[in-house]
Amino acid sequence: MHNRNSTPDGLVREDTHDFVTTYTPSGDNSINALGRLLRDNRDYFLDHIAERGVLLFRGFQPHSHQQFHELVTGSLGLEVWNGFNLKKTPGIVTSWLRKYSEGLVGGGDYRRYLDRDTVRLGPVESSIQGPHTEGGVRSERSRYIALCCIEPAPYLAETGMADLNQAYLDLPTALRARFHTAWNRFSYRSARKLNPLDRLVLRLSPFQVTEREDGLADMALPPCPATCAVPENGRVCLQPWAFARNTNRPVRDAARAVFTGRGEIGLDSTAEGMDLSWGLCDDQGNTVPWTEDEQRQVFEAIFRRARLMAWQKGDIALVDNVRIGHWRMNGEQGNRKLVQIQATAFNAEPYHPARLPMDPELAGA
């Protein structure tokens, strides 16, 4: 039995950033060797994701998304969990469903399913995405995300990542206190008048639908925690999902203030295309104010904690999707092929800090 605190044989471990640990092969760098290492040290790696935030495996060179899928689900034994594909439909059906719902809400982030679990992430733009936890539009989401770089971008297009506990602690006291008890509330306005198929699809969805006089519909999701504690250590983390139209300008302004010297930074087209709004409320559903200036402060706090992951071919990253927020940076798409698997069901609600006895120092409240 391997000692859970020491680095597994066959790997060199280096803490390359505040929240990133990089593992490189000390000998055999074959994909089979990595598979064995993940299988034999599963508990060690899961402990370390919670402790560190991001684990990066570099120098093993997986060549296909199928090999990546096998490493994550077979070797590491993670259970795929994808809010967009809970019924385990084939990739082509999921892509159609996603496209259909993009038509309903307008816009969308042209990510496509390569199989029923593996997603190819959308193309690079001259904009910087809003920071988010994957699936953070709802309480039910995945605990981990795994990313694999099949082909890097020719220029920039990194994945920004930030420790959402540090960003939370960096907020001005009054804003931090508000987030300590707040809930995120997301609501879409439909892009077209509802037709019978829309109504049928929506009846099977979590949306609370209000049809308006003009035929359009407001579609609100149940509120989800604006902050969430990491289950293993109680660190309170912001839980952003900044794809809303009302937060798009504050995101861009925060990005321009923090990420200088990267060329022109425009508005994110996904957030601009959907009529989605992100507001805050209390546990009774009463609106909690959040000005544009405060939105910018939150995004700046996150961006200032950024680690820009410059992908190398074959990199695999395992990310704690509660502790670490991420977003796509601007750059050149080229043949960039970054694929993602979301894994392990997680519900943020029981970990809302307002529902937990908190260590005041960790909570920062």
Cα distance between residue 362 and residue 306, in whole Å: 20
Cα distance between residue 95 and residue 108, in whole Å: 12
User: Binding residues for Fe ion, per CB under 5 A?
Assistant: 134
Report, in Å, the least distance between residue 329 CB and Fe ion: 12
- 3-class secondary-structure state, position 32: helix
Report, in Å, the least distance between residue 270 CB and Fe ion: 11
Six-digit token string for 142: 């995945």
Among residues 134 and 294, whose Cβ is nearest to Fe ion? 134
Report, in Å, the least distance between residue 192 CB and Fe ion: 26
Cα torsion 177, 139, 101, 268 to 10°: value is: 30
- Give 357's contacts (C-beta < 8 A, 6+ positions apart): none
Among residues 176 and 336, whose Cβ is nearest to Fe ion? 336
In eight-state DSSP terms, residue 131 is: P
Structural element, H or E, at residue 318: strand 316-320
Report, in Å, the least distance between residue 115 CB and Fe ion: 18
Q: Which DSSP string corresponds to 152-205?
A: --SEE-PEEEEEHHHHHHHS-HHHHHHHHH-EEEEEEE-SS---HHHHHHHHTS
Among residues 78 and 363, whose Cβ is nearest to Fe ion? 78
Among residues 134 and 275, whose Cβ is nearest to Fe ion? 134
Among residues 134 and 163, whose Cβ is nearest to Fe ion? 134
CB 80 within 8 A of CB 342: yes
Report, in Å, the least distance between residue 39 CB and Fe ion: 27
Nearest Cα residue to 160 out of 132, 181, 201, 197: 132
Report, in Å, the least distance between residue 216 CB and Fe ion: 28
Among residues 169 and 302, whose Cβ is nearest to Fe ion? 302
CB 278 within 8 A of CB 185: yes
The residue sitting closest to Fe ion, measured at its beta carbon, is 134
Among residues 217 and 274, whose Cβ is nearest to Fe ion? 274
Report, in Å, the least distance between residue 132 CB and Fe ion: 6
